[in-house]
């Protein structure tokens, strides 16, 4: 647990307030200075190392900067200042079924989702059967995804996301995927990933889950790290402030 | 920093970006196909709407400008113009939506954002290509226009030039629509004005006849003028003027170059607005 998988140094991210996120032409011309003064800080000079082989939990109230941090790690959001280094192939499960089209068949969506996540077509060809097996969809793979139950859809999406064989998995609260047996299976896959020196970053409000699943955790408040360390201690700190 | 190291830095960044785009080409193509297929699956006529829409538009304009006002040249001139213009207008419209309609994917996955307007142009290009045989099925029997050697040579060139031009405009509207959603309301009006200002419903000669001295020159600065002229040489066998080719290509390269570089420079900030 000495090699970092994700290394974040002095990262700050500022946003314009929600009300001004979609500025109209008139407002952006007329109140330029005003808006700049109103900037809010989502991440305030955060430095953090997450190591290979560890499950890392991120907790905190709404608006504490948790999702922003995940976006920074996923490299979809460039911080205003600071550096982010990610060593490995990242898969994000911040939201399931990215790139998928519900009117199309499960088969087509395996390709759409896989290509969106960064796979090549030939890689999807190779892994197609194992993706379908894992999702346990059987014949349903030829049916339009809009006919799926939400559990079936989650299974398909999770299976595609794992098919890119990531070293680093960024998870939002989507662990409650599918029924009991699939949840077991997905937990098993994630433990396997950790055993292979993979890394999981897990954002959640479910404190027991964080305590149980994560080795370390960080408690965010107003864009800063309030506490960091073994997950049970950090969860205790968080509980004491609620 | 000397200007030489600066320019090598920029050319390196450009080639990195181009590599990243190229490595995601399957993604772009499958997304375009997926969008076409899902629209196909949710409407009874599916892909045929790519033909029916410009056709209905053309027939309405023919009724007003050709029959009632009697200023249009003939149906083949009008329909070919409408079909060509429809490609640009659909590319701009879906380009404008391409980023903001896919925010979920864009905040979660990392890939060159230019994929989105490229996909929008690919999708509309497929629609345009499908519409061309139908155009000939109408103007062929009625006016005797059939694809000849001029079509074989000029159409691919015109198509590539217009596609580059469309990609420029699609990236520009996609980029602008991220901070300024107002653009989405403005685009249809701008497109209609552009349609009326272009030689589609009337002949380009009208500029010289009706406009005051000097204004015809300005009217001819419309990039649609050379693009339409090039297409009419390709589709209808009108005499080919090399200046049309040069001017269309220049417009396409300048517009695409400026718009794409503006788009790419904005990429890092995009997620802040989504």
Sorted by where each begins, the domain ranges of chain A are 4-89+201-241, 101-165
| Distance of alpha carbon B76 from alpha carbon B247, whole angstroms | 24
Q: Which residues of A touch B119 (CB under 8 A)?
A: none
Asked if residue B230 belongs to a domain, the reply is yes
Is the ipTM beyond the 0.90 threshold? no
| Distance of alpha carbon A238 from alpha carbon B6, whole angstroms | 49
CB proximity B103 to A under 8 Å: no
Asked if residue B12 belongs to a domain, the reply is no
CB pair distance less than 8 Å for B108 and A115:
no
**pLDDT score, position A20:** 47
How far B207 CA sits from the closest chain A CA (Å)? 34
CB proximity B31 to A under 8 Å: yes
Quick one: average pLDDT of B248-264?
96
Q: How many CB pairs under 8 A join A and B?
A: 85
How far B270 CA sits from the closest chain A CA (Å)? 8
Asked if residue B1 belongs to a domain, the reply is no
Residue B209: which pLDDT band, with cuts at 50, 70 and 90? confident
**pLDDT score, position B225:** 95
**pLDDT score, position A175:** 59
| Distance of alpha carbon A84 from alpha carbon A1, whole angstroms | 19
CB A106 within 8 A of CB A145: yes
pLDDT digits (tens, 9 = 90+) for B148-177: 899 999 999 999 999 999 999 999 999 999
Q: Indicate whether B13 pLDDT > 80.
A: yes
Asked if residue B210 belongs to a domain, the reply is yes
How far A240 CA sits from the closest chain B CA (Å)? 32
**pLDDT score, position A127:** 93
**pLDDT score, position A28:** 56
Which residues of A lie closer than 8 Å to B, measured between beta carbons?
A: 15-16, 21-25, 28, 71, 74-78, 90, 92, 94-95, 98-99, 101-104, 108, 111-112, 115-118, 120-121, 144
CB proximity B38 to A under 8 Å: yes
Q: Which residues of B touch A30 (CB under 8 A)?
A: none
Asked if residue B11 belongs to a domain, the reply is no
CB A189 within 8 A of CB A153: no
**pLDDT score, position B85:** 97
- Selecting from B35, B108, B181 the residue whose C-beta is nearest the C-beta of A76 gives B108
Rg, C-alpha atoms of chain B: 20
pLDDT digits (tens, 9 = 90+) for B82-93: 999 999 999 999
Q: Which chain B residue has its CA at the smallest distance from A92's CA?
A: B108
| Distance of alpha carbon B201 from alpha carbon B19, whole angstroms | 42
CB proximity B193 to A under 8 Å: no
CB neighbourhood size of A112 (10 A): 27
Q: Which residues of A touch B266 (CB under 8 A)?
A: none
B172 Cβ contact list (under 8 Å, min separation 6): B95, B255, B259, B262, B263
B212 Cβ contact list (under 8 Å, min separation 6): none
- Selecting from B26, B35, B273 the residue whose C-beta is nearest the C-beta of A115 gives B26
Phi/psi for A102 (5° steps) reads: -70, -20
The mean pLDDT value of chain B amounts to: 90
CB neighbourhood size of A190 (10 A): 19
Residue B271: which pLDDT band, with cuts at 50, 70 and 90? confident
CB proximity B266 to A under 8 Å: no
Based on the structure, what is the number of domains in chain B? 1
- What is the percent of chain B where pLDDT is above 90? 60
DSSP states of chain A: --SEEEEEEEEEEEE--GGGSS--HHHHHHTHHHHHHT-EEEEEEEEEEEETT-EEEEEE-TTSSHHHHHHHHTTSS--SEEEEEE-S-EEEESSSSTT--TTSBHHHHHHHHHHHHT--HHHHHHHHHHHHHHHT-GGGGGSBGGGS-HHHHHHHHHHHHHHT--SEEEE-S----SSHHHHHHHHHHHHHHHHTT-EEEEE-S-HHHHHHH-SEEEEEETTEEEEEEEHHHHHHHHHHH-
CB pair distance less than 8 Å for B37 and A104:
yes
Closest-CA residue to B63 (of B52, B75, B53): B75
| Distance of alpha carbon B238 from alpha carbon B205, whole angstroms | 14
Residue B107: which pLDDT band, with cuts at 50, 70 and 90? confident
Q: How far is CA B173 from CA A21, B111, B167, B169, B259, in A?
A: 18, 19, 10, 6, 9
Is the pLDDT higher at B62 or at A179?
A: B62
**Winning range, highest mean pLDDT, from A186-190, B103-107, B248-252:** B248-252
Q: Indicate whether B230 pLDDT > 90.
A: yes
Per-residue pLDDT of chain A (242 residues; tens, 9 = 90+): 478 899 999 999 987 654 445 555 555 555 544 444 567 888 999 999 999 989 999 998 888 888 889 889 988 888 989 999 999 888 887 777 888 998 899 999 999 999 998 899 999 999 999 999 988 888 899 999 999 988 888 889 888 988 888 889 888 765 555 677 777 888 888 888 888 888 999 888 888 888 888 999 999 998 899 999 999 999 999 988 87
DSSP states of chain B: --HHHHHHHHHHHHHHHHHHHHHTHHHHHHHHHHHHHHHHHHSSSGGGHHHHHHHHHHHHHIIIIIIIS-----HHHHHHHHHHHHHHHHHHHHHHHHHHTTHHHHHH--S-TTHHHHHHHHHHHHHHHHHHHHHHHHHHHHH-----HHHHHHHHHHHHHHHHHHHHHHHHHHHHHTT-THHHHHHHHHHHHHHHHSTTSS-THHHHHHSPTTHHHHHTTSTHHHHHHHHHHHHH-PPP-HHHHHHHHHHHHHHHHHHHHHHHHHHHHHHHH-
Q: Which chain B residue has its CA at the smallest distance from A19's CA?
A: B273
Asked if residue B6 belongs to a domain, the reply is no
| Distance of alpha carbon A65 from alpha carbon A225, whole angstroms | 10
pTM (predicted TM-score): 0.86
pLDDT digits (tens, 9 = 90+) for B40-59: 777 777 778 888 999 999 99
Find the domain containing B218 and state its range.
Answer: 21-273
Q: Which residues of B touch A169 (CB under 8 A)?
A: none
- Selecting from B110, B182, B271 the residue whose C-beta is nearest the C-beta of A24 gives B182
Q: Which chain A residue has its CA at the smallest distance from B180's CA?
A: A24
CB B73 within 8 A of CB B58: no
How far A241 CA sits from the closest chain B CA (Å)? 30
Asked if residue B14 belongs to a domain, the reply is no
**pLDDT score, position B267:** 87
**pLDDT score, position A207:** 86
CB pair distance less than 8 Å for B108 and A92:
yes
CB pair distance less than 8 Å for A120 and B106:
no
Q: Which residues of B touch A90 (CB under 8 A)?
A: 110
Q: Which residues of B touch A117 (CB under 8 A)?
A: 109
**pLDDT score, position A19:** 47
- Kindly tell me the burial class for residue B35, based on how many C-beta atoms sit within 10 Å of its own C-beta (0-12, 13-18, 19 or more): buried
Quick one: tokens of B56?
């209905």
**pLDDT score, position A174:** 58
Q: Indicate whether B19 pLDDT > 80.
A: yes
Among 3.60.21.10, 3.40.50.300, 2.40.10.10, 1.10.3660.10, name the CATH number for the domain at A4-89+201-241: 3.40.50.300
**pLDDT score, position A178:** 62
Asked if residue B5 belongs to a domain, the reply is no
């Amino acid at each position: 647990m000495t090699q970092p998988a994700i290394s974040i140094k002095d990262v700050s991210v500022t946003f314009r307030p929600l009300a001004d996120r979609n500025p109209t032409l008139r407002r952006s011309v007329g109140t330029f200075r005003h808006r700049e003064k109103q900037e809010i800080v989502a991440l305030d000079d955060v430095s953090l190392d997450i190591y290979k082989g560890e499950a890392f939990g991120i907790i905190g109230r709404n608006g504490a900067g948790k999702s922003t941090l995940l976006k920074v790690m996923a490299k979809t959001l460039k911080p205003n200042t600071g550096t982010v280094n990610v060593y490995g192939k990242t898969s994000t499960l911040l939201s399931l079924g990215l790139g998928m089209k519900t009117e199309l068949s499960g088969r087509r969506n395996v390709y759409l989702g896989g290509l969106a996540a960064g796979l090549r077509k030939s890689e999807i060809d190779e892994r197609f059967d194992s993706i379908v097996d894992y999702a346990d969809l059987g014949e349903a793979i030829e049916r339009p995804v809009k006919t799926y139950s939400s559990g079936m859809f989650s299974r398909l999406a999770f299976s595609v996301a794992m098919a890119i064989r990531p070293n680093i998995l960024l998870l939002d609260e989507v662990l409650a995927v599918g029924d009991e047996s699939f949840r077991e299976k997905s937990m098993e896959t994630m433990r396997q990933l950790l055993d292979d020196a993979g890394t999981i970053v897990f954002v959640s409000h479910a404190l027991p889950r964080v305590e149980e699943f994560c080795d370390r955790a960080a408690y965010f408040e107003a864009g800063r790290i309030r506490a960091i360390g073994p997950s049970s201690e950090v969860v205790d700190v968080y509980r004491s402030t609620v | 920093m000397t200007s030489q190291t600066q320019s090598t830095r920029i050319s390196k960044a450009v080639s990195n970006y181009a590599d990243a785009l190229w490595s995601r080409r399957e993604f772009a193509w499958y997304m375009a196909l997926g969008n076409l297929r899902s629209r196909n699956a949710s409407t009874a006529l599916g892909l045929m709407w790519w033909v029916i829409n410009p056709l209905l538009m053309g027939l309405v304009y023919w009724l007003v400008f050709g029959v009632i006002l009697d200023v249009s040249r003939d149906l083949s001139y009008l329909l070919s113009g409408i079909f060509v213009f429809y490609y640009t207008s659909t590319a701009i419209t879906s380009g404008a939506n391409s980023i903001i309609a896919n925010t979920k994917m864009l905040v979660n996955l990392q890939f060159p954002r230019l994929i989105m307007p490229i996909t929008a142009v690919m999708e509309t290009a497929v629609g345009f290509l499908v519409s061309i045989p139908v155009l000939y099925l109408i103007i062929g029997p009625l006016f005797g226009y059939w694809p000849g050697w001029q079509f074989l040579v000029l159409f691919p060139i015109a198509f590539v030039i217009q596609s580059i031009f469309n990609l420029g405009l699609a990236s520009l509207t996609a980029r602008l629509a991220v901070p300024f959603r107002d653009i989405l309301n403005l685009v249809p009006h701008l497109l209609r004005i552009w349609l009326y200002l272009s030689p589609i419903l009337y002949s380009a000669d009208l500029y010289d006849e009706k406009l005051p001295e000097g204004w015809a020159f300005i009217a001819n600065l419309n990039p649609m003028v050379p693009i339409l002229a090039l297409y009419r040489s390709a589709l209808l066998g009108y005499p080919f003027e090399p200046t049309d080719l040069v001017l269309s290509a220049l417009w396409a390269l300048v517009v695409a170059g400026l718009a794409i570089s503006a788009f790419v420079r904005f990429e890092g900030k995009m997620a802040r607005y989504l």
